[in-house]
Structure 1
Amino acid sequence: MIDEKYYWTPGNELTLDNYLQKRRPSIVTKDDTEWIYIGKPSSEDSGGETKVDAIAKAICLGKVVVDKLTVRVKAIESDSNIPRNAKNGKRSKKSMRDELGNDAAKELQKIVMTTGYTEGKLMLFVPPEQVDAVWTQIGRSVAHGPLHEAGVTNAKVSPTRTDSPSSKHLFCIYIDNAYDTGLIRKVATVLLKDHGLDPTGAKSNLYNHLGIDSSHPSQLRPTTFRLDEALKAQYDPKVEKERNKTAATAAATDGQSIKPGANSAKRQHSNATDKKPVAKRPKTAATMYKEGDMFAGSDDEEK
């Protein structure tokens, strides 16, 4: 059950900034609440009986898929005839597990789309020394900023763990469809460009209900999309590498001196006066974040 004290919506008695100040993740602990929320109530909380039935059906069907996968994965692990590494024409244990996992993931996606329980989130982890500033950025963005415009419904952050205060804080940025690659790409791009935040991937809410994480015995991958998969069309590493190579070549060419000749001094003087300075490409928000300067130039910078 969600404690309304830690859930801000537009009708809250506190203003957004007052809420963000009073409910800072650095001072709220897990003894107080499991999560701190912001945004409109999720469809799970406000969808009525129809939504509850859809969720229950999805969980029931999904459990069958995951239980079946778990049994088969355990059988592979215990079968001494299946090698750890592929050899003599035999497939490896990992290859067989991956194939089963991919098939199970497709079945879970089909269940999600059939039942209509499509909700999910993008996730990211933030160290304690940055969590309050990041939560303020995310909160404002979800309420009336670029994340809101990108289709984010709400967000939550984990409070401080009293047993491990140095642990990173988990942020969940909620979207209506965890399998909509266009929506995931749009939200991930906002997180990267506008906020300098690097999400680890997207995950269906059904996975949470089924207890799927990195330590689950089914060994099913815990995310429906990794960041590189969601952004592949825009941020293909090969394309980025080639673009940087081209830019470096152009910069080197611009910096070459003119060979000596009868009119070399005159031509060099002409080039020096006519040549326009090459504008440096500004740092991306992601770069500033990695350098610890994520709010450089931001109007919302914390004082």
Structure 2
Amino acid sequence: MVRFHKILLTGAALSLALSGAAFAAGGGGGGGGGGMDMPSASGPTYDPAEEYAKGVAALNAEKYKEAEKAFARVVTAAPKSAEAWRLLGVANLRQDDAKGAKRAYEKAVKLEPEDIAARTGLGVSLARLKDDKAQEQLAWLKAKSDACAGTCGDAAALKSGLSAVESAAASPSAALSTPLLFAQAGDRAYLQAVGLINEKRYDDALASLGQAREAFGPHPDILTYQGYAWRKKGAFDRAEAYYQQALTIAPQHRGATEYYGELKVERGDMDGARVMLARLDRACAYGCAEAEELRRWIDAGGEPAR
């Protein structure tokens, strides 16, 4: 069963729990008794999750310049955060900066090619620029909509996306709606994801984690759980990418370090696993559950018997 660091609060308070002080221990894989360690001094001067929360609040308050600045800081610290690039695009579009929006949405689509909202935003941006490439996004949305035939979970998003791009093509000044984002929704999605992982429902867990990232951005706890779920699905390369993102943001994140070490054991990279264990031993002066679990994996040469 995946371990869960119990620092979660409800509503807006969660955006604070899922930032700064939570990074070192982490919800993704333990936490060693609930301690609130300080972030690594080698980390960024600001944390992406906190900046993301500022950006979301600014978008909700229709303060688009503030939102743009916040999301620009997020993508500087976490350049693989597709949701931050997408919301940067929203902030740019709301300021009638179609060129800036196009660049941001292109980054989002490159990172998440199946993201309907990113495809929609890119299509609208291109249409506002009177760029014929808007038709490519329209064609993508239409193909998805036809395949869905109004029966899939994305039916409403596809219909809305098609309408938005078509409206922008007909009238480049047409507005793109900005949905409000709430911490409570991310809170519920995060908690739900933990339960789904414990039930080994990894596809459903990944969907919930995606919703949590929509609310909280590139938080290392969420990234670590995404890595864990992909690893359990056998997608080791994708899992590694998420662990690396988590550790880039929070170098001393114990959950990500442990799970990355376990992944290395599963790949037969015992030297790499020992490097991860050494990091945990340095971070846990008095020992911690993550170090002991990874040590058991290394000693067993794989997942130890329970």
Higher strand share: 1
TM-score, normalization by structure 1: 0.23
| Structure exhibiting the larger radius of gyration computed from Cα positions | 1
TM-score, normalization by structure 2: 0.22
